[in-house]
Structure 1
Amino acid sequence: MNDFKNKLLLKPKKETQKEPPEVKKWLNKFREEREFDGIKSSTIGNDITRLKVFLNFVVERLEKSPDVLSNSDFVKFFNYLERERKLSRNTQNRYYQLLKVFYRLMRLDNFKDFKDESQERKRFSGFEIKHYDAISSDLLNDIMNVIIESKSRTKIRDATIIRFLWDSGCRISEALNLTYGDSDLEEGTFVLRNTKGKAERTVVCSTDTLEVLNYYVQYNIKKGSKDRVFQNSNGEPIGRGWIGEIFRKAVDKLKKDGKIPANRKIVVHSLRHGRAVDLLEKGQPIDIVKEYLGHKSLDTTLFYSHSKERKEKMIKNIQKIL
Structure 2
Amino acid sequence: MHKKDFSYYVTRYFTNYLDREAGFSPNTIKSYRDTFILFFRYIELFRICKINKLNMDILSADNVNDFLNWIEKERQCTVSSRNQRLAALKSFCIYVIRENPEKSDICQQVLGIRAKKATQKSIGYLNIEAISYLLKMPDKTSDRGIRDLALLALLYETGCRVQEIIDLKIGDISFRIPNTVALTGKGNKIRVVPISQQVSEIIKNYLSISTRHNFEENIFVNRLGNPLSRSGVAYILNKYGDMARKNRLDLYPYKLHPHILRHSKAMHLLENNVNLIYIRDFLGHSSVTTTEIYARCNPELKRKYIEEASNFITETVQDYSKTEKNDLLEWLRKNI
Specify the alignment match of 1:84 in structure 2: 74
- Structure 1 window deviating more from structure 2 (40-49 vs 96-105): it is 40-49
Specify the alignment match of 1:52 in structure 2: 37
What's the CA shift string for 1:108-162, capped at 9, x where partnerless? 43243454352xxxx52445477x622222222232233348x965012101111
Q: Distance in 2 between matches of 1:214 and 1:88?
A: 41
Specify the alignment match of 2:56 in structure 1: 67
What's the CA shift string for 1:248-272, capped at 9, x where partnerless? 1222344555615887352111111
Match of 2:264 among 274, 280, 296: 274
Specify the alignment match of 2:90 in structure 1: 100
State the secondary structure of the residue aligned to 1:197: helix
Greater helix proportion:
2
State the secondary structure of the residue aligned to 2:217: coil
Contact 1:221–1:234 at 8 Å: present in 2 too?
no
Cα–Cα, structure 1 residues 36 and 274, in superposed 2: closer, same or farther, change >3 Å?
same
Contact 1:295–1:301 at 8 Å: present in 2 too?
yes
Contact 2:276–2:292 at 8 Å: present in 1 too?
yes
Contact 1:168–1:205 at 8 Å: present in 2 too?
yes
1:39 maps to amino acid: F
Contact 2:295–2:302 at 8 Å: present in 1 too?
no
Cα–Cα, structure 1 residues 49 and 56, in superposed 2: closer, same or farther, change >3 Å?
same
2:256 maps to amino acid: I
Deviation at 1:77, TM superposition (A): 1.1
Q: How does 1:214-229 map to 2 (within 5 A)?
A: 214-229=204-219
Deviation at 1:242, TM superposition (A): 2.3
Contact 1:244–1:268 at 8 Å: present in 2 too?
yes
Specify the alignment match of 1:36 in structure 2: 20
Of all paired residues, the percent bearing the same amino acid is 22
Specify the alignment match of 2:316 in structure 1: none
Q: What count of residue pairs does the alignment treat as equivalent?
A: 285
Match of 1:161 among 151, 166, 175: 151
1:140 maps to amino acid: I
Q: Distance in 2 between matches of 1:201 and 1:86?
A: 36
Specify the alignment match of 1:12 in structure 2: none
Deviation at 1:85, TM superposition (A): 0.5
Cα–Cα, structure 1 residues 129 and 102, in superposed 2: closer, same or farther, change >3 Å?
farther
Contact 1:179–1:226 at 8 Å: present in 2 too?
yes
Match of 1:297 among 284, 287, 293: 287
RMSD: 3.0
How high is the TM-score relative to the length of structure 1?
0.76
Specify the alignment match of 2:100 in structure 1: none
Specify the alignment match of 1:4 in structure 2: none
Q: Please say if 1:180 is aligned against 2:170.
A: yes
